[in-house]
Amino acid sequence: MKEGKQPSRRWGCGFRLIVFCLVAAVGASGQEVRKTISQPTPVYPELARQIHLTGKVKVQVIVGTDGQIKHVEVLGGHPVLVDATLEALKRWKYAPSTSNTAVTLEFNFHP
């Protein structure tokens, strides 16, 4: 009786392996990497320099098919540093693509 169960057991393991590989392949190819054409660095704000403010700003951007940033979501950072980041991102440009792309960026600010 055990011999009859082994083929179905092997089939179940093989099926799970195939499903796992398909899910991994879709996850890996689901988001393309976009090349940046222009990425000006944010300017360290004078106010931040005066109060010795350092830190990180993390944002997620949606890059349109034309390479322009269409949407920015701030994930963290001091408001003074966020403003400088948003100003710099207005001048960022990516290579064109056939679809929109989500990119997470992190900027470090220090004097």
Domain check: are 49 and 86 in the same one? Answer: yes
Domain check: are 69 and 19 in the same one? Answer: no
Q: Which residues fall within 8 angstroms of residue 86, CB to CB, at 6 or more apart?
A: 72, 74
Q: What is the pLDDT of residue 21?
A: 33
Domain check: are 14 and 42 in the same one? Answer: no
Domain check: are 91 and 40 in the same one? Answer: yes
Domain check: are 21 and 44 in the same one? Answer: no
Domain check: are 19 and 65 in the same one? Answer: no
Over residues 92-98, the mean pLDDT reads 96
Kind and range of the H or E run holding 106: strand 101-109
Rounded to whole angstroms, how far apart are CA atoms 26 and 15?
A: 17
Kind and range of the H or E run holding 70: strand 69-76
For residue range 55-87, list pLDDT tens digits in order. Answer: 999 999 999 999 999 999 999 999 999 999 999
Domain check: are 70 and 90 in the same one? Answer: yes
For residue range 11-62, list pLDDT tens digits in order. Answer: 443 333 333 333 333 333 345 688 999 999 999 999 999 999 999 999 999 9
Domain that holds residue 22: 1-30
Domain check: are 66 and 18 in the same one? Answer: no
Q: What is the pLDDT of residue 27?
A: 33
Over residues 92-110, the mean pLDDT reads 95
Q: What is the pLDDT of residue 33?
A: 82
Domain check: are 15 and 40 in the same one? Answer: no
**Is the predicted pLDDT of residue 111 greater than 90, yes or no?**
no
Q: What is the CATH number of the domain that holds 73?
A: 3.30.2420.10
The answer to whether 81 and 43 are in contact (CB under 8 A) is no
The pTM of this model reads 0.69
